Structure 1
């Protein structure tokens, strides 16, 4: 072989090896990243050519694929669609659009995830038609139905999130009004566009997932749990610490006056304990406490529960916010009882209650337990992970005691369950001017062995303007959801 030919052979061999390494790198190493890229339309197209996996909750298939007689081969079907729309979303091949779990878990449902690699190989070798993997949710149908019914049957617009405190598994996630996802999965583009336009135009905004996103709410008095956490975690306060028991408090460097809900003092006596301020849900002592603590301490406590960050459940949540207040003591005082610039999702307030229930340890929330292959093998399992510690176990117990007293004979009595000790906190959040209140409840049960933590939010004062309260409107909903979980 001549010298020139040998050199040319080496160059060709080098080019071949480079091409082999590059293509292998793209197909093996970079494949998951490329598949998950929202700009990769090929992945979306590929997902229409396979029978997508089912979405399963409590052993029931709530989303399935059936054969269609059109270009797209498979039609998605949603059972009890309005109840599950918050979670499942939809997929539409005509408009190339996805939402909810159909989007977040598209790789798994279409069989393109790395966990389905051997399943794809088996399908190719055996000549089977390609099929996607199914996903099994942590959500419980009874709890989901109870949450939906509790809101819809009363005509409320709002949301419910229920969480298992020890694991972070989401047991229910509902936003009302819901919508029929089947009408957005049709293979008739004109019909789907018309349906989507009608939903967008609806003043009640059914497409908005109020449980984890959308326009966030002031958390009202449910945030007092965070303020109390900041206080007792500092070591400078206990649940027996006292504050002047006055009917009104003028915020520092401001003419704004804070009053308790009934306009009077927080119970009798010249002083009030932090325990009773939580039990009776009094604003004045919590505003005073917030000013004493300062915004940095409260923000640190809020962030220990998950404020100021988003969570992938795998549905992405909007971050609840405790913003920088630039040393404004008046604004800090307002946040002490969940007003001012602090905002939250129901998911976040469920995490607060769940963290207290779990001896102060906050778990990362999630709603997918397993990914199951077409051959029923478990391809992937999601295990509980801790987000962090909000407070020590003994301090969490002290806060639980005050929350339990609130349900027994305080401001949250409508969350009582016969034979079960419930720990809870209500919230009645003011909005601008004469706008209706936003009504809240968050809590857990049983108080001594927590199985479920719940957060409820109801918009527009539950139809009662500024007359309703978290105890009269939100607490009974939480009770029904907790009962559904405890009855399992």
Structure 2
């Protein structure tokens, strides 16, 4: 009897152990399978990834190949980046360091792990080579190349978008890196003081200077704190806030002008007063309405623009400085571009789009990424008024430097002062044409100097390509 009892206990022990092993195996094989597959030290995954024909990335025409997969003599995959200047968009595929950009955002599609379940099942059963799915981007290679050429050896960023669809036609960040040699260069790139791995267009946070006046003007108009025809006096280019002098970077060409020309002449004196009229709460409200505090909903890595600390805004000097884009305000070039697009499209910020469609290697469309609105910033009426003021700025003011001869535009310069001996950041942002706008163009040149002298000519040439070239 005792032997039977011992046998039952032994059987129970082995059954318990079996179920424990089964549960553990099931947990790791099913529940945590994706985590295991994704681990960088998973040798089976790495071997499989090396033999996958990742999908291509195509230009907006759906034909020009920007990125593709080739194989070496051992049958191992290599990514070929035919336009390295697109690295801020495409990112890089790296089994050693991890993926970035669109290579990371659309990894499941590019690697063929997401898509047509039946095809995936057949590939697995028949041990066929895996072919990922292609991405059709929104990028115009010719526009991207010209923006790179115009920026030259200078550090900075350029963003060009379609205001209606949110399509990113060009997105430049310089200096950048060559994805084709990334794994060999990675350590040097990470240590470089030029920070080439930073996407200045989407992640770089910069003092915006006077391009922020677009937000202040919209907020003041929305709250009824001014009108475009209100008259202002600015005889000597200086205004005191609690004894602190606010100065115009350049004295306006006349002593008296309306609000529209205050934007055109980039009057810090007027915009400091508008900021004080608005108050800290309304300034924060206007900034939030335009997307401050939220990363723009783009497929690649992006930072949120920042208005500044509450205690800074509650101080009159801080509030006045913020109103004309100084103080603690920091913005990305992408966000400035989206705000410009919102003014052009009746107050709605578009959701920035980098990928139009996902296709099979045979060209069949699996998924279309449709244009969407991110959020409404201001009413249609307020957007019309700000648009009118930006057209005045490009006709009568400092933004004339960015206006091509072939078409009227709306624009705004920015010369962001950084203090000390640092040269200011040069900004220019515009929509074109003035009537029925189709494009938004934003240029930042780090420590470039005057926005009208440095950034505006770059934007002007790109607008000529977009609007004036047959």
Residues 372-429 of structure 1: per-residue CA shift (max 9 Å, x gap):
1234222222112212211222221221121112112211112112221111000000
Which runs of structure 2 are paired with 1:230-379 in the superposition (5 Å)? 230-253=219-242, 255-262=243-250, 264-265=251-252, 267-269=254-256, 272-326=257-311, 327-379=314-366
SS at match of 2:241: coil
1:48/1:359 CA distance change after superposition, 3 Å? same
For residues 484 and 104 of structure 1, what CA distance do their matches in structure 2 show? 30
List runs of 5+ in structure 2 lacking aligned partners: 1-11
SS at match of 1:290: helix
1:31/1:368 CA distance change after superposition, 3 Å? farther
User: Match for residue 451 of structure 2?
Assistant: 470
Q: Residue 159 of structure 1: CA displacement?
A: 0.2
Equivalent in 188, 198, 217 of residue 198 of structure 1: 188
Residues 245-286 of structure 1: per-residue CA shift (max 9 Å, x gap):
243445533x43111122x356233xx321111111111100
User: Match for residue 142 of structure 1?
Assistant: 142
Residues 299-353 of structure 1: per-residue CA shift (max 9 Å, x gap):
2222222111113421021111013332111111001110000000000000110
On the 8 A contact 2:101/2:301 being kept in 1, the answer is no
The count of residues paired between Structure 1 and Structure 2 equals 450
1:242/1:324 CA distance change after superposition, 3 Å? farther
For residues 373 and 309 of structure 2, what CA distance do their matches in structure 1 show? 26
Query: TM-score with structure 1 length normalisation?
Result: 0.84
For residues 466 and 42 of structure 2, what CA distance do their matches in structure 1 show? 40
User: Match for residue 169 of structure 1?
Assistant: 167
List runs of 5+ in structure 1 lacking aligned partners: 1-7, 186-191, 462-467
For residues 33 and 374 of structure 1, what CA distance do their matches in structure 2 show? 28
On the 8 A contact 2:59/2:136 being kept in 1, the answer is yes
For residues 180 and 444 of structure 1, what CA distance do their matches in structure 2 show? 31
1:25/1:307 CA distance change after superposition, 3 Å? farther
Residues 433-477 of structure 1: per-residue CA shift (max 9 Å, x gap):
12111000111101111111011100122xxxxxx3111110111
User: Match for residue 415 of structure 1?
Assistant: 402
Q: Residue 147 of structure 1: CA displacement?
A: 1.1
Query: TM-score with structure 2 length normalisation?
Result: 0.87
Residues 112-170 of structure 1: per-residue CA shift (max 9 Å, x gap):
12x34343134346653111111111111122112111101xx3210001111112111
Q: Residue 35 of structure 1: CA displacement?
A: 7.4
1:45/1:370 CA distance change after superposition, 3 Å? farther
